[in-house]
Amino acid sequence: MAHRRSILFLLALGLLAAALPAVRLRAHGIGKTQLLNEPAGPYLVSAWTDPDPLRADESHVVVGVTDPDSREPIVTGVEVTVTLTSVDDTSVVVREDAGTDSVNQLLYAAEFNDRVAEGRWRVDIAVSGAMGSGQAAGFEVDISPARGFNMLWWGVGGLAVIVGGWFVASMRGEKPARDRRGRPAKTAS
C-alpha cells in the first residue's frame, strides 16, 4: 500500500511540474495580425503581436519572412530585428533581434516583456540576409499597463496545496478495521 501511495504521489508531483511550463508555452500563439506579406527589400514580411492587448509585462512580436518568388518561408540565413519606439517620446527605443520562435520554427519571435511602458509605440521590422536587406512598413500598437499577478499561479498553488494535503493524509497510519457493530476487530494471536 505504501508503494502505491509513493507512485501516486510521484505521479501527482510530475503533473504539477508539467503544469509550470504552460505559463511560458502560451506566449507565442501567433496573435493579432499587424502586417501580411508586406515588402521589406527582397523579402515579404508578416507580423503578429501577442497577447491582445499587449501589456507592459508581456509584449511579443512574431515575424514571418517569405521568399516573394516561391512564397516559401525563410527559416535560416536571415536576421530579423524588431524595434519599438515610443510615440510619446521618440528617444525611448527598444530593439530586439528576433530568434526562431520556440513554438513555430517557421517564425521569428521578439519578446519585450517588462521592457516597454504603457502607451502608444511604433513597431519597425528590419530583415537582412543573403538576398539583401530591407525594412517593412511599420505599424503602431497600444501597450496596456502590466497585468500584475498572473491568475494561473493561483491555480498552480491550489493544486500544490491539494497534492500536499493528500500526501499528508495518506502518510498517516492505517486505522484498524472495525467490525459491523463498531468495535475494533479481533486480531489473531
Identify which of 125, 37, 111 has the alpha carbon closest to the alpha carbon of residue 73: 37
Q: How large is the average pLDDT for residues 62-89? A: 95
Band the pLDDT of 164: cuts 50, 70, 90. Answer: confident
Q: What is the pLDDT of residue 169?
A: 79
Q: What is the pLDDT of residue 125?
A: 98
Q: What is the pLDDT of residue 167?
A: 79
Pairwise CA distance, residues 185 & 177, whole Å: 6
Q: Which three cell numbers stand for residue 12?
A: 501527482
Range with the lowest mean pLDDT among 2-6, 62-66, 126-130, 170-174? 2-6
Q: Which of 27-41, 88-102, 141-155 is the most confident on average?
A: 88-102
DSSP string, the chain: -HHHHHHHHHHHHHHHHHHTTHHHHTT-S--EEEEEEEEETTEEEEEEEEEEEEETTEEEEEEEEE-TTT--B--SSEEEEEEEEESS-TT-EEEEEEEEPSS-TTSEEEE-TTTS-SEEEEEEEEEEETTEEEE---EEEEEEPP--S-HHHHHHHHHHHHHHHHHHHHHSPPPPPB-TTSSBPPPP-
pLDDT in tens, 95-144: 999 998 777 889 999 999 999 999 999 999 999 999 999 999 899 999 99
Share of the chain above pLDDT 70, in %: 74
Mean pLDDT, the chain, integer: 83
Residue pair 135/41 in contact by the 8 Å Cβ criterion: yes
